[in-house]
A and B are shown apart, each in its own frame.
Chain A
């Protein structure tokens, strides 16, 4: 239960950061991706801020024996660059460029109960469900 509360608190802070950063405004996101047109690079600073803080935080915590609420740090095992990674990232990029939503900002915006994030979330969970179905049947 404690770990769930930690996750809740984290999700809350994360979504506040997203809302402040401009990532919950599809218009801004699409302007950031419009490098071939009237490019607005301001969202690049979201990456700068986030990576700046996390790259330090990640390494500080790595020195600890274990996290505060769970038994161990779940360090991702290094894997090779493979075809699913490239194809998946490409499909994600197309969807991102279509609507200007990636998962975090979309689910944060879902909290506003507006129609756009609701429709997007139906697609998002549908896509994840489709993936699970195909993976379970070992198609992909």
Chain B
């Protein structure tokens, strides 16, 4: 619980930093999805942000490998999940960071609604998979 709170505060801090330095909302799906638009003047900072995520992951994997423990899961399910997350977050213009953290902090009605919807659908999906289908 304490680590969740501390990690969350660091997430909030990083989001505040991107706002202070670059004047951008920290929404991972938007920043990364924008790379595909291939706009020369707008692509470098996005790629660098992605590089930052990857380096942070590599660094933390060395320090705390147990924080990156993966679940055994069929590859098709992981691939399908990625597709849904990629398509869905672009269609709704945001994910857990852009809507869930930044949008709610800004009291955006769209973000509040989006967060309620993806949380509810996430809970429903886990409920169906675990308790109705008995797992993947």
Contact = CB atoms under 8 A, between A and B. Distances in A.
Instruction: Say if A and B assemble together.
Output: yes
Interface of A: 1, 3-27, 30, 33-37, 42-58, 60-61, 64, 66-74, 76, 78-81, 84-104, 106-117, 119-132, 135, 140
A126 B88 CA distance: 12
A93 B129 CA distance: 13
Contacts of B100: 47
A47 to B, nearest CB: 6
The 7 A-B pairs at the shortest CB distance, nearest first, are namely: A123-B82, A11-B52, A21-B7, A127-B86, A49-B8, A111-B57, A93-B121
Contacts of B5: 45-46, 48-49
A73 B19 contact: yes
Contact of B57 (A90, A110, A120): A110
Contact of A99 (B6, B32, B73): B73
Contact of A37 (B47, B120, B127, B136): B127
A81 B8 CA distance: 27
Contact of B49 (A7, A42, A45, A130): A7
Interface string B49-75: 111111111111100110111110101
A117 to B, nearest CB: 8
Interface residues of B, number: 107
B53 A76 contact: no
B122 A96 contact: yes
Contacts of A102: 28, 85, 89, 95-97
Contacts of A4: 44-45, 47-48
Contact of B68 (A19, A50, A96): A19
Contacts of B78: 99, 116, 119-120, 123
A93 B120 contact: yes
A53 B16 contact: yes
A52 B56 contact: no
Nearest to A46: B8
A5 B89 CA distance: 25
25 contacts: A6-B22, A7-B22, A11-B53, A12-B55, A15-B53, A17-B11, A19-B7, A19-B68, A24-B60, A43-B4, A46-B11, A49-B6, A50-B8, A51-B105, A54-B101, A58-B19, A81-B110, A93-B88, A95-B80, A97-B126, A98-B125, A104-B97, A111-B59, A119-B78, A126-B83
Interface string B115-136: 1011111111111011100001
